[in-house]
Chain A
Amino acid sequence: MKEGMTYQEKRAIVSIITSILIFAGYSFYVFQLNQEESFSRINELSFWGAFILILIPVSIVARIIVYILFSIIYHVATREQLPSKSDERDKLIELKASRRSHIVFGIAFLLAMVTQVMDMPPYAMFVVMVVGGLLSEIVDHVSQFYFYRRGF
């Protein structure tokens, strides 16, 4: 009999959706609400520095809020005791997932350097790096989902 999804599997799915929504929402905010200013500063290093520096705390705070809400909703819906700490299997899965994630980000970093070798504008490098960061995060969560679904 196929078992339903576990807490960890659902958490991985929530993480994937959260990552995409935070990134899309933040990018939309920066590029649409300040449209003229954003596009005139797109080649300034300070613009991209601020973009990434603000994205990090926004992402952390949003993620914490989403996880708290998810845990409350999950507990209320299932009456299941939530794992208080990660065990050895959780840690191994996290390690395997983060290894894949690092590989993806490493490739993105190299591609970002290639854009500069090919004399592309500075924003191309930052776009590749920021998108690479998002992709590496998604790969991390997708890998976690995959390993939890498979058992290990």
Chain B
Amino acid sequence: MGKSSITTTIRTLRFHHDEMTQQQLADKVGVSRQTIVAIEKGKYSPSLELAFRIAHVFDTPLNEVFTYQPET
């Protein structure tokens, strides 16, 4: 699996939340920092539960954190 067709705004959302670090976000949602890195780079699509947990941390609707772009 290379780059997925799901894009994310986690990097921007972290910036707007007092420059939250990847480690801080990882601790809040219960995954490793490497998993957050992989999600931000679009290399890993998180489970629905993890996606909701990330959206919950930023108090943002899920569709503003993750966007699906169908391949043309």
Report which A residues bind B (CB closer than 8 A): 3, 6-8, 81, 83, 87-90, 148, 150-152
Contacts and interface: CB of A to CB of B under 8 A. Distances in A.
Given A90-B32, A148-B34, A150-B43, 10 more contacts: A6-B34, A88-B35, A88-B47, A89-B34, A89-B46, A151-B38, A151-B43, A152-B1, A152-B44, A152-B45
The range of chain B's interface size is 10 to 19
B38 A89 contact: yes
Contacts, number: 39
A152 B38 contact: yes
Interface of B: 1-2, 23, 30-32, 34-35, 37-38, 41, 43-47, 50
Given A151-B44, A152-B1, A152-B44, A88 B34 contact: no
B50 A88 contact: yes
A89 B44 contact: yes
A10 to B, nearest CB: 12
A88 B54 CA distance: 14
Contacts of B50: 88
A88 B32 CA distance: 9
